[in-house]
Every structure is written in C-alpha cells, then in structure tokens.
C-alpha cells in the first residue's frame, strides 16, 4: 500500500468516526470506527506485504456450508470443503447457538485487528471487538445468514454492528474534518482503551 493510501484510509476513517459522534455516550464506538480497518497494515511490507485478496474482502464461516448470501457464491464450488460431508451441511462442525467466537471465520484484516486489540488488553467493550472482528462478515449482518450460530451476546452486539454499518463502506460523511481540532479527543480515546505500546 502506498503511503498516500494509508493517509487516505486514515482520513476516511476519521470522517467515519466523526459521523459516529451521533452517539455521544458511546466514545468506544468513535474509537472503533477510527481503528476498525487498521488490520489493513498487513498489506504493508513491514507487516508481511500480504496480497490484497488475503487482507480485504467479505469474510465467511469455515467448517459449514457456504451460504448463498456469500458474494460470488458460485466460486465456492471449487473449494474442496464444498463437497466434504463434514463441512457442507448448514451447521457443519458447529451447533445452534454456539456463538460466533466458536466459529472459524476466513482470515482478513478484521481478525488481525481483533487479535491485536485483544492480545494488547484493550478495554473496548464486547460490542467494539465484535464490530472490529465481524464488520466484513456481510452475509451475517446484511443478509442474516449463519444466524443459527449466534448466541445472546452476539445478538446484542449485532445491534451495534448494524448501527456501525450505516456509516461504514461508501457512506463516509462529506463534511470536512479539522484533524487538529479532533486529534486530542481521539488520542484521549486511544489512551483510555489501549496501552501506550502495542504489539503488532
């Protein structure tokens, strides 16, 4: 990723995060909006220089049938799991209400940033971590696919993910943001919810 792409992503996320300020009592949501795509650093040479297909794009559960709500569903027929009787049923290796924490999701920037946050002891609430981890799992939060796996905590967190999604992906505010004006606020949120140094 070029340096200007990093700046553009940061700028877009800042505008997005500012849009989330419509929820003034949920400062964690503002920070989550700012950082949710930071896992895309995996594209940078210093973080492994992974190819785009390994970092971005919609995510989906593994170990169960590929729901038709998945984008480009027809291509899943080429995946060996498509015909594997252990994996090609609705529940596959999982059970109803098992919770998304027990479901393996395809790898991408979402899971990487979730692991960075979790392993560094973030104090973001469960809903913030859920948003970071599942914001690219569009079959779930847009089409309600794979709902058989969600538990009560997931259902509550899905409400926040749907609020978040209203402002994500091509819906960034067109209002200009004064970066220097809002910078102290966001730095205070980083300090509140994360340690001073992060292990990436």
- 37 annotated as a binding-site residue: yes
* Number of residues that this document lists for the chain: 200
Mean pLDDT of 42-57: 92
29-33, long-range: CB < 8 A, 24+ apart = 29/127, 29/128, 29/131, 29/160, 29/163, 29/164, 30/185, 30/186, 30/189, 31/124, 31/128, 31/186, 31/189, 31/190, 31/192, 31/193, 32/124, 32/128, 32/131, 32/132, 32/164, 33/164, 33/167, 33/168
- What pLDDT score was predicted for residue 23? 84
- 135 annotated as a binding-site residue: yes
Task: Check: pTM over 0.85? Answer yes or no.
Answer: yes
Q: Which of 40-44, 66-70, 157-161 has the lowest mean pLDDT?
A: 40-44
């Amino acid at each position: 990723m070029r340096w200007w792409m990093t700046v553009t992503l940061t700028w877009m996320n800042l505008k997005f995060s500012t849009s989330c300020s419509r929820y003034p009592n949920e400062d964690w949501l503002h920070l989550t909006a700012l950082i949710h795509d930071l896992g895309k650093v995996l594209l940078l040479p210093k973080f492994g220089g992974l190819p785009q297909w390994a970092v971005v794009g919609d995510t989906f559960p593994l170990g169960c049938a590929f729901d038709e709500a998945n984008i480009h569903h027809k291509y899943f027929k080429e995946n060996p799991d498509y015909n594997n009787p252990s994996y090609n049923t609705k529940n596959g290796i999982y059970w109803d209400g098992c919770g998304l924490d027990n479901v393996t999701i395809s790898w991408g920037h979402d899971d990487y940033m979730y692991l960075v946050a979790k392993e560094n002891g973030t104090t973001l609430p469960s809903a913030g971590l859920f948003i970071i981890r599942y914001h690219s799992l569009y079959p779930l939060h847009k089409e309600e696919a794979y709902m058989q796996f969600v538990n009560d905590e997931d259902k509550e967190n899905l409400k926040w993910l749907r609020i978040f999604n209203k402002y994500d992906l091509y819906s960034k505010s067109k209002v200009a943001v004064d970066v220097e004006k809002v910078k102290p606020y966001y730095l205070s949120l980083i300090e509140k919810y994360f340690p001073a140094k992060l292990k990436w």
